[in-house]
Amino acid sequence: MKKRKRRTRDTRNGYLFISPWIIGFIIFTAYPIFAAIRYSFCEYSVLQPPRFVGIDNYRILFTQDSLFGKSLYNTIYYTIFVVLLGIIIALLLAVLLNQDLKGKGIFRTIFYLPVVVPIVASSMLWLWILNPQYGLLNALLFKIGIVGPGWVASEKWSKPAIIIMSLWGAGGTVIIFLAGLQGIPRQLYEAAEIDGANKWVKFSRITIPLLTPTILFNLIIGFIGSSQVFVPAFIMTDGGPLNSTLFYVLYLYRNAFNYFKMGYASAMAMILFVTIAALTLVLILTSSRWVHYE
């Protein structure tokens, strides 16, 4: 009886201590999610009460709104290149920074610094670097005899410009890969060296297979983050030129806060949520074929 009372008291105290988080989750996360689901089936301008319209918002999105398709294409384009190139670059940098070299701590700090720079400040910095007339990048290209492109002022180069800027902040992924590399037993490399394995064999047969759980994690986090890209396009191009950087969340933001079409924006949010959830589920379900946990 005493143990039961003690267990009940501990449970009550536990819920009491986590109650601020529970209340915050209900108010700031759970309620907005269910409200967005409800409003996605309504015509809602904020200034007037929501009016139920069924699936009209979804029907218009998929059949009449050309900018919806454009924003979806821009986001998919950005996501594919940022995630794949980001993982490759971060993995190579992590392998280099994992070497037993003098001053490696300084280099790790340098590569991680862009992560702690506010995204708005980074966007303003890169807006200057990528300026087609007096930007630093085109000035460097001019010194070696190359005429630089228009970057953010060009419909063709605007998305690659934002991709380059995003890859500059790959330091967070580098740190995660470093943690994964340091978790690989050194004895495996020593045994491979005894068998005559060269660096490529050790990398492809030991490092990559044992890093697959880390690669899976970075894939999922990368897809979730890049599919919600907003600030660089909002600050640097405002979706232009000619909607070439009109990413999905930027278009959602415009519908919600520029056009006051909250129901329409809620439908877009639900589509984004379902897409990210489905992609994450596919990655997890297929991971058993290529992810090794031993």
Give the mean pLDDT of 85-113: 88
Alpha-carbon gap, residue 280 to 293, rounded angstroms: 19
Give the least confident one: 97-101, 188-192, 209-213: 97-101
Query: What pLDDT digit, counting tens, does each position of 221-237 carry?
Result: 999 999 999 999 999 99
Q: In this structure, what token pair is assigned to residue 154?
A: 């060009």
Kindly report the backbone phi and psi dihedral angles of residue 173, in degrees, each rounded to the nearest multiple of 5, phi listed first: -65, -35
Confidence band (pLDDT; 50, 70, 90) for 284?
A: very high
Task: Return the pLDDT at 134.
Answer: 86
Give the mean pLDDT of 105-125: 89
- The residue type of 93 is L
* CATH architecture label of 66-246: Orthogonal Bundle (1.10)
Task: Return the pLDDT at 52.
Answer: 95
Confidence band (pLDDT; 50, 70, 90) for 251?
A: very high
Give the mean pLDDT of 181-196: 89
pTM: 0.90
Alpha-carbon gap, residue 62 to 128, rounded angstroms: 37
Confidence band (pLDDT; 50, 70, 90) for 2?
A: confident
Residue 196 in this model has a pLDDT that exceeds 90: no
Task: Return the pLDDT at 294.
Answer: 66
Give the least confident one: 101-110, 146-155, 239-248: 101-110
Nearest residue to 76 (alpha-carbon basis) of 276, 289, 264: 276
Q: In this structure, what token pair is assigned to residue 127?
A: 């807006």
* Runs of H (alpha helix) within 195-289: 199-202, 208-226, 231-236, 248-253, 262-286
Residue 101 in this model has a pLDDT that exceeds 80: no
Specify the 3-state DSSP secondary structure of 162: helix
Query: What pLDDT digit, counting tens, does each position of 46-69 carry?
Result: 888 999 999 999 999 999 999 999
Task: Return the pLDDT at 242.
Answer: 92
Q: In this structure, what token pair is assigned to residue 121?
A: 């400040």
Q: Over the chain, what is the mean pLDDT?
A: 92
Confidence band (pLDDT; 50, 70, 90) for 123?
A: very high
